[in-house]
Amino acid sequence: MSALDPIAFLRATPPFGDLSPPLFERAARSLDIGFFPAGTRLVESGGTPLQHIYVIRKGAVRLERGGQTLQLLEEGEVFGYTSLLAKKATLDAIVEEDLLAYRIPGAEFEQLLADARFARHFAAGLAERLKHSLERTHVATFQSDHLGLAIETLIRRPPVRVPAGATVGDAARAMRDHRVSSVLVDTSPPGIVTDRDFRNMLAEGLGPATPVTAIYSAPLKTVPGRTAIYEAWQAVLEQGIHHLPIARGDEIVGVLSSSDLLKTTAQGPPAMLRNLEKLASRDALPGYGARVSEMASSLLAGGLDATVIAGFVARLNDALLVRILRWAEADLGSPPAPYAWIAFGSEGRMEQTLLTDQDNALVHGGGAAEDEYFGALAERANTDLESAGYPRCAGGYMARSWRGPLAEWEDRFNGWVDNPKPQALLWAAIFFDFRKVHGALDLAPLEAVIARAAKARVFLSCMAQAALEFRPPPSLFLRLQGGQIDLKLQGISPIVFLARPYALEVGSTARNTLERFDAAVAGGLMSANVRATLREAYRFLLGLRLREQLRMISEGELPVNTVALSGLSSIERSRLKDSLRHVRDWQDKAAYHYRTGLY
């Protein structure tokens, strides 16, 4: 098409491309072209409202209220609909750069609103629009699957059952005859026995006359048949099970094995988990990071949200770490005291979509005498993680350096809360996101210190003030810095860092950013509308970064957090700027709430 073909450009601009053919033809017939030099004031707040809806083809328009810039609109963005819908002008619109715009008269725009999808675009809030604004392009040539299908579509046969009084031999014969790896036991409530239970039974010297109820598992952990396939994957990974009973109402209609789930994709989490369980030695660790990238690309192309993908990555990383720590224990002997391996940063929050540098520590229940053992264990684990694709942490936040007795860690945590100097705030921001991944040591004392922070007003204010140093750039500044943005530093981090004091203030133990939003709403610190907008802004930014990083990997580049606005679609650029603007608004409210600058 011609570079300036108005009709083709309009069709490519959401939501005009969603119009039915007759309505789109009507919009195209009414289209005219307007040119406005820089400095033109198109509309003034309180004045005569705009009489057209505008689609920017070239140039830029600045929206202001009371002399303060709210938004900078550029190519592919639409404005004027607020005036047309409200019948009044609430903002100033000034041409920032010579403007070439396609215009549709207000009367025609009202006729187009008869199309429900078209109308919803203008009626929806930012949160709703963000859900549908990230293009799901294939970033690599990996497999894409229908991951949103109901799990019951995978069922090929009803479950095999044995009575409550059956023996192990009866259950084994039923499994052999029907060629299945599990049977349901008709007790009340029902239970399940699997081929793994038989292996454990033989290891304990039990015979075929043993009642099946001596080795079965009950009650059953079921999932509804309408559960999406990817959600069923989550149940398998979180519960550590290999057989998943599927329920329709009160009836169990089938049992899916991990092998059944493997067939849904060769690059999904079940396949990755199976590979991790088969790792024979450290020699198999190289390449793990590349396999995670392939899986993430497949899931993103399949339509999964980046936050869901991050949950899968976290569960698989946990399984890998447990494997690595058990190797270390096999080398060194049994631990001389209970310990806990903790992860923090994005891994602690379960928000890591690709492998980044290591953020981990070790807490143990021993003293100085036992620390030598745990130093050796940490060294082995950190080295193995590096082999698997986790680079060393540039700041040194790794268990080989950050380990010690529980009492020592408790003193550290208390010191950070009681004396919130800049370095203490940095450490608190890092370590207060901790999540225990492996080990028997109870970390309740550390949780108690974090709970105490809810009443430490000075600490919370200082933490909020430190979080506000991560500031999204305004639209005008984006243009001045060459249309480049660091999605992590300027978009994701401002959300993550400020969500932390909000959750701490209401006494929440949540680590995940979205769960911290939920806690802030439940605690009356945030409105549901603000949560909805911030949640979708966060998901949009995380998904955009993941998509762009996977594209870089597929093109043989080192993945970075910086993206060029010129590489985004017009709707993505618009939503990116909307997201950053709403995060800045939230930060302004937080600065007032926490009285930052007073301490």
The number of CA neighbours under 13 Å toward the Cβ of 90 is 10
**CATH of region 458-593, choose from 1.10.3470, 1.10.1740, 1.20.120, 3.60.15:** 1.20.120
The helix (H) or strand (E) run that includes residue 63 is strand 52-65
Residue-range domain boundaries for the chain: 6-123, 151-260, 270-416+429-442, 458-593
- pLDDT, tens digit, 9 for 90 and up, residues 399-443: 999 999 999 999 999 999 999 999 999 999 999 999 999 999 999
- pLDDT, tens digit, 9 for 90 and up, residues 325-347: 999 999 999 999 999 999 999 99
pLDDT at 13 over 90: no
Residue 261 to residue 244: CA distance in whole angstroms: 10
pLDDT at residue number 125? 62
Angle at 147 between CA 142 and CA 153, to 5 degrees: 130
**CATH of region 270-416+429-442, choose from 3.30.460.10, 1.20.1740.10, 3.20.20.70, 3.40.50.11540:** 3.30.460.10
Residue 556 to residue 565: CA distance in whole angstroms: 21
Classify 350 in phi/psi space as left (phi over 0), alpha (psi -120 to 50) or beta.
left
Residue 476 to residue 432: CA distance in whole angstroms: 35
Q: Which residues contact 49 (CB under 8 A, 6 or more apart)?
A: 43, 83, 84, 86, 87, 88, 89
Q: What is the 3-state secondary structure (H, E, C) of 234-280?
A: HHHHHHCCCEEEEEECCEEEEEEEHHHHHCCCCCCHHHHHHHHHCCC
Q: How confident is residue 150, by pLDDT bands cut at 50, 70 and 90?
A: confident
**CATH of region 6-123, choose from 3.90.1150.10, 3.20.20.70, 2.60.120.10, 3.60.20.10:** 2.60.120.10
Q: What are the structure tokens assigned to 561, written together? A: 């957090």
pLDDT at 233 over 60: yes
The helix (H) or strand (E) run that includes residue 186 is strand 182-186
Mean pLDDT over all residues of the chain?
87
Q: How do 403-405 and 360-364 pair as beta strands?
A: parallel
Q: What is the pTM of this model?
A: 0.75
pLDDT at 2 over 50: no
- Report the percentage of the chain scoring pLDDT > 90: 50
Q: How confident is residue 267, by pLDDT bands cut at 50, 70 and 90?
A: low
Query: What kind of fold does domain 151-260 have according to CATH?
Result: CBS-domain (3.10.580)
Which range, 51-65, 79-93, 170-184, 407-421, has the best average confidence (pLDDT)? 407-421
Residue 31 to residue 100: CA distance in whole angstroms: 13
pLDDT at 130 over 50: yes
